[in-house]
């Protein structure tokens, strides 16, 4: 056996949030590594880390610090050596990693679409005027306000199970979740159906799982290279460059999606005013290898068209 592989005596420590979906993702990373290197489950240790974003449920993320609230404590453990890798939902990740960390491994991407979830209404189009829709996503709220200004939007945070309970309690008539999360949890039947990307362009990197490591850890780099999905990485290179150029945060409604067709990458993007009063959308096609440059170019074009003060 290679001496750089994890063993039960020296397990690879996988850091994760403690929600059911986060744990599923960590277990999937473990499963992939086990299969790639014929390792036993005991060669890995799942380390659950409490993050601020999961502990504060009664406020919008933009009010308490944004996306970093789901990653800060995990990244601190990675830098301190308490864990060897960190597993993240990529749509929750800030556009830049702390010094010394890198995110360059992705598992195959799941369904990128949003899921319409409602106990009593079949689709978004069938929601009656005045219906209450719960969502914590500024992007979804802005898209809904643009398409359906007759709806009433309320803050709706928590994991999948918490949000389903809120629906059952009548807090809202409907909500939207990531189809990827429902599929991974075996809960796709909870959705009335996916919302096509032509109706609601998804969040950048939605449906993708990323694995973060210490930049100087060559051993872990070698392990992760064996499970990296190249196409997901190519698509995210364009989407994340698009988001980074826009300085995307929880205060900025941004949607983006890259699709690969042969050796051509098709990137779509959308900027919205937070109140849904206006949007600017566009798309570009180019070589897959130029994905990051395409992302920056599309971002610049949408910013030019939006003009100063668009988000204000």
Residue positions annotated with a catalytic role: 92
Rounded Cα gap, residues 235 and 19, in angstroms: 26
Nearest to 52 by CA among 44, 40, 63: 63
Positive or negative, the Cα torsion across 234, 239, 245, 247? negative
Rounded Cα gap, residues 151 and 56, in angstroms: 26
Burial of residue 197 (CB within 10 Å: 0-12, 13-18, 19+) is middle
Burial of residue 96 (CB within 10 Å: 0-12, 13-18, 19+) is exposed
| DSSP track, 242-301 | HHHHTT--TTS-EEEEEEEETTEEEEEEEEE-TTSS-EEEEEEEEEGGGHHHHHHHHHHH
Classify the phi-psi angles of 295: left when phi > 0, otherwise alpha if psi is within -120 to 50, otherwise beta.
alpha
């Amino acid at each position: 056996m290679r001496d750089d592989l994890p063993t039960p005596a020296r397990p690879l420590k996988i850091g994760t949030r403690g929600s059911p979906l986060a744990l599923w993702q960590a277990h999937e990373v473990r499963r992939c590594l086990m299969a790639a290197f014929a390792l036993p489950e005991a060669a890995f240790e799942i380390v659950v880390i409490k993050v601020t974003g999961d502990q504060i449920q009664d406020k919008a993320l933009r009010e308490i610090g944004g996306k970093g609230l789901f990653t800060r404590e995990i990244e601190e453990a990675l830098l301190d050596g308490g864990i060897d890798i960190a597993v993240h939902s990529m749509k929750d990740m800030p556009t830049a990693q702390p010094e010394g960390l890198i995110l360059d491994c992705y598992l195959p991407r799941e369904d990128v679409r949003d899921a319409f979830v409602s106990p009593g209404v079949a689709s978004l189009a069938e929601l009656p005027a005045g219906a209450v829709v719960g969502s914590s996503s500024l992007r979804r709220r802005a898209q809904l306000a643009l398409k359906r200004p007759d709806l009433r939007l309320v803050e709706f945070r928590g994991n999948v199970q918490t949000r389903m309970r809120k629906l059952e309690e009548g807090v809202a008539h409907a909500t939207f979740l990531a189809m990827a999360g429902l599929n991974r949890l075996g809960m796709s039947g909870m959705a009335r159906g996916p919302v096509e990307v032509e109706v609601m362009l998804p969040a950048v990197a939605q449906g993708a799982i990323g694995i973060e490591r210490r930049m100087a850890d060559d051993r872990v780099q070698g392990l992760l290279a064996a499970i990296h999905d190249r196409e997901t990485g190519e698509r995210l290179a364009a989407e994340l460059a698009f988001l980074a150029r826009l300085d995307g945060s929880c205060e900025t409604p941004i949607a983006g999606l890259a699709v690969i067709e042969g050796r051509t990458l098709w990137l779509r993007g959308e900027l919205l005013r937070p109140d849904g009063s206006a949007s600017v959308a566009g798309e570009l096609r180019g070589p897959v290898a130029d994905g990051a440059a395409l992302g920056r170019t599309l971002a610049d074009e949408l910013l030019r068209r939006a003009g100063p003060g668009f988000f204000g």
